[in-house]
Amino acid sequence: MRRTWSVAAIGLLTVAVGAAGCTKNTGNDDTGSKGPQNNSKLVYVDDAKGPAPEIKDAKKGGILTVLNVQDFDHLEPQNTYVGAAIMVGNQLGLRTLTSYYEKDDGQIELMGDLATTTGQQTENCKVWTYKLRDNIKFEDGTAVTAKDIAYGVSRAFDESQADGPTYIQRWLAGEDFGKAYTGPFKNPGTIAPGITTPDDKTIVFTLQGSHCDFPLAAALPTTVPVLAAKDPGGGKMESPMSTGPYKIKSYTRGQRLEWVRNDNWDPTSDPLRHNYADGFVFDFSQSDPDIITKRLVADQGADQLAIGFPNPTSASLPDIQSNESAKKRVIEGDTIFSQIVSINTQRVTDVDIRRAMIYAYNKQAVLQIIGGATAGTPSTTLTPPVTPGYKKFDAYNVPLTGDPDKAKTLLQGKTLRPFKYCYRAGGVRPQVAAAVKEAFAKAGIEIVPTELDRTTFYSLIGKKGNDCDLAPTGWGQDYPSPTTVLGVLASGHEASHDGSNNNSWLDVPEVTSKLDELASNPDPASALPQYGDLEEKIMKDYAPWIPIYYVHSYTINGSKVGGIYLSQLWGSPSLQNAYVIQ
């Protein structure tokens, strides 16, 4: 999934999920786990019941404010593929068939959310059946039925939802799912192939192949229920109807998003969520992260109830580190995300030019701008160390400051055109673009920094045939499996359509075939080393990415904010147990 703020499975993997935070989920009740699924950090819980375990010292009342430098791309559920947006939507208002609960000891529990269990499978994981919980309603009081979930999944097939996850669509209808079925907007009254709803409480998914990781894909927003009668159509849903503890009261794009209590949420139907705070206000009006940091360090007035989402830049980091009170309010840890520059292989077709770009890049300059070690660790791979299947390698052994002489050697005798470097507006990205331009110039490569609207950036670079030569992007696992990292960003299937997340547009049949083979391996654990080997080969032979850094989250909250921890799953400060310290 994408990472745009400062920061689901082969459920049988024998490795841990593995990110750590300074503060943890403080729910400690036994939720009845059936035991680990060969993963010491991930367990399936099939008898979870609401309400969620109480959080020690938490009381109801107060409004919490989330400060960030940028808005969500959108909140249209089936079209959402940004980690923080998925997390916020799911924790506050947009429930899914399954979801996660993160515990104090680092254990992650997958359990039924709208569904009573993580799912019942038959026919070697080809058929998945879910029964819905009692007393689940939309914010207007309408009961949620299996048909609403079926409609939600079906609308994910429409081209307007192309930016969202595609696992379930592909598993139901094949790799050309958008041709097999074009969604309910174009075909009113229909649902996607492979879905049946025998009654209002039952939904059945019949897949084209065996996918034992379906319960984790069902935790993605693809399965958010949508009431068809109130659906404005693809791309127009700015305020989706809530089924969780909060609902959207008002939303001014780029400025302010306000969530208030949802009176039609029944805590006895929900084993995951709380509604301690009276509401949440997301304030996007301040575009300078340094000002946000200074406000949180000062900890005055309403800012005592504020949650900071952007990592501090190198300019404001000393404000925190020289203040003992502020240091105690920091939440930090490694995340599932990796930051790269995607090189458009359909436009920059000469692999030696792409290799020269890797040598020309100055990681040290960029890391100094974004905050140094508190922001990330210099990387040499696409896959971060916390993801199963990670292999430590360095295909080019480039110094942190780059190697312009080596780049020039690769470029000898070549005629170069200016290359368009597209970046997302906001934050310190203009400074980063300037640093990249300067570093490339030392190697004789001219780039033209081009700022794109931050709300449409991924839609633009995900459009097949776009004119961006390079684009800085972030990615993290959708669930603990390399098939959700390398299997997405290097897949020719992804490079075949608009809404692609393969922003290097790498389309090598042998690579795609190998990824398909690994994804269908009945013993996922045995496939893990092969992912690392394949990634190393891709880097050496095709050079589609410039690895920059593995993302580290380092954020600060106000002194009256309780229950916040760094989510191992989403790489952002979690709001699941948030409360106002009174």
CATH code, 161: 3.40.190.10
| pLDDT at residue 10 in the model | 24
Element spanning 419, H or E? strand 419-424
Average pLDDT over every residue of 224-232: 96
| pLDDT at residue 571 in the model | 85
Q: Which domain holds residue 238?
A: 42-280+557-580
| pLDDT at residue 325 in the model | 96
Distance (Å, whole) CA 67 – CA 557: 10
Q: Give 67-130 as a 3 state SS string.
A: ECCCCCCCCCHHHCCEHHHHHHHHHHCCCCCEEEEECCCCCEEEEECCECCCCEEECCCCEEEE
Is 307 within the bounds of a domain?
A: no
Pair (407, 384) in one structural domain: yes
Q: How far is CA 404 from CA 410, 411, 546, 556, in A?
A: 10, 10, 15, 38
**Would you say the C-alpha torsion 70, 73, 76, 80 has a positive or negative sign?**
negative
How many CB atoms are closer than 10 A to CB 20? 13
Is 303 within the bounds of a domain?
A: no
Using DSSP, state whether 248 is helix, strand or coil: strand
Which one is predicted more confidently, 275 or 10? 275
Q: Are 500 and 494 in contact (CB under 8 A)?
A: yes
Distance (Å, whole) CA 168 – CA 193: 11
310-334 residue pLDDT tens: 888 888 889 999 999 999 999 998 8
Q: Give 182-226 as a 3 state SS string.
A: CCCCCCCCCCCCCEEEEECCEEEEECCCCCCCHHHHCCCHHHCCC
Q: Structural domain tally of the chain?
A: 2
**Measuring CA to CA, which residue among 177, 458, 530, 477 is closest to residue 489?**
477
Residues of the chain above pLDDT 70, percent: 93
Look at residue 544 and tell me whether its pLDDT is greater than 90: yes
CATH for 369: 3.10.105.10
Average pLDDT over every residue of 251-268: 97
Beginning with the edge strand found earlier in the chain, give each strand of the sheet holding 419-424 in spatial order: 376-378, 545-556, 330-343, 470-476, 419-424, 447-452
Pair (95, 240) in one structural domain: yes
Pair (275, 341) in one structural domain: no
**Would you say the C-alpha torsion 16, 19, 22, 28 has a positive or negative sign?**
negative
Look at residue 73 and tell me whether its pLDDT is greater than 70: yes
Pair (65, 90) in one structural domain: yes
Pair (422, 540) in one structural domain: yes
Average pLDDT over every residue of 109-137: 96
* This prediction's pTM: 0.81
Distance (Å, whole) CA 524 – CA 308: 38
Pair (96, 209) in one structural domain: yes
Pair (352, 257) in one structural domain: no
Q: Are 366 and 506 in contact (CB under 8 A)?
A: no
Look at residue 16 and tell me whether its pLDDT is greater than 60: no
Confidence of residue 40 (pLDDT cuts 50, 70, 90): very low
Pair (145, 121) in one structural domain: yes
Pair (362, 433) in one structural domain: yes
Pair (340, 199) in one structural domain: no
Look at residue 8 and tell me whether its pLDDT is greater than 70: no
Confidence of residue 161 (pLDDT cuts 50, 70, 90): very high
Is 12 within the bounds of a domain?
A: no
Query: Tell me, what DSSP letter sits at residue 147?
Result: H
Confidence of residue 17 (pLDDT cuts 50, 70, 90): very low
Is 510 within the bounds of a domain?
A: yes
Pair (254, 139) in one structural domain: yes
Element spanning 295, H or E? helix 289-298
Is 360 within the bounds of a domain?
A: yes
Is 285 within the bounds of a domain?
A: no
**Would you say the C-alpha torsion 434, 438, 440, 445 has a positive or negative sign?**
positive
Confidence of residue 360 (pLDDT cuts 50, 70, 90): very high
**Measuring CA to CA, which residue among 201, 246, 203, 207 is closest to residue 95?**
246
Pair (483, 567) in one structural domain: no
Distance (Å, whole) CA 389 – CA 133: 36
Average pLDDT over every residue of 507-518: 94
| pLDDT at residue 110 in the model | 94
Cα Rg of the chain, angstroms: 23
**Would you say the C-alpha torsion 171, 175, 176, 178 has a positive or negative sign?**
positive
Distance (Å, whole) CA 388 – CA 323: 37
| pLDDT at residue 463 in the model | 94
Average pLDDT over every residue of 291-296: 96
**Would you say the C-alpha torsion 425, 430, 432, 434 has a positive or negative sign?**
positive
How far from the centroid of its chain's Cα atoms is residue 118's Cα? 21
